[in-house]
Amino acid sequence: MYDQIFSMHGITMIFWYAAPILTGFSVYLVPLMIGARDIAFPRMNSFTYLLFSREQYLAAAEAYMRGIERRLATGRDADVCSVASVFISRWDKAVMGKVPAELRDKLGIAIAQRTYKAYLELRNSERWQRLIGLGMRPQRLLWASTGTKDPNAPDTLYVKALAAHSPSTPCLMRHYLRSQTTAHWAS
């Protein structure tokens, strides 16, 4: 009897643990499995893209805008949220110990700056402006993984280097507060 109850408890716990994980993976995998070209069609209230480069950001933004265009063509509204999360510190972790000291902790910032430039160019494009005029919510650019992996780098390295008006930058409150009391913000 004990084994049956213990086994049933284990199966139940695995189910309650695995169900949300499978749902999370399906948000990413289902569009790929069905060959969906347009992520925002027919509707996903919020879709977050996990990205590592400018090219991946542009592909995600293109899919988002194409989906909005398809929604509008079928008479639906353009009220869909989207977040493009660009991972920053993982670039520097990948090359840690493989680059000269003067290039240490610079790659993630360079990738983010390239991505931000592409984001601004896209926001100023005629297509983006037309879709905004038709009710599209701007896809949000978010700097993710902004905690430094280098023990010799300041906690605020990425937060200060990437502070801008439009992107969101999730960071620990202590990093934010420390950045307010140390050197000036990057422009």
Q: According to the CATH classification, is domain 37-181 in 3.20.20.70?
A: yes
Question: 61: Cβ–Cβ under 8 A, 6 or more apart, which residues?
Answer: 84, 119, 122, 139
- Residues of the chain where predicted confidence (pLDDT) is lower than 50: 34, 43-46, 171-176, 179, 182-187
pLDDT at residue number 83: 82
CA angle 121, 95, 84 (to 5 degrees): 35
pLDDT digits (tens, 9 = 90+) for 40-88: 555 444 455 578 889 988 988 888 898 889 889 989 888 888 888 888 8
pLDDT at residue number 164: 63
The answer to whether 137 and 82 are in contact (CB under 8 A) is yes
pLDDT at residue number 3: 65
For the full predicted model, state whether its pTM sits above 0.75. Answer: no
Cα separation, 51 vs 58, whole angstroms: 10
Helix 107-123 / helix 54-73 crossing angle, nearest 10 deg: 30
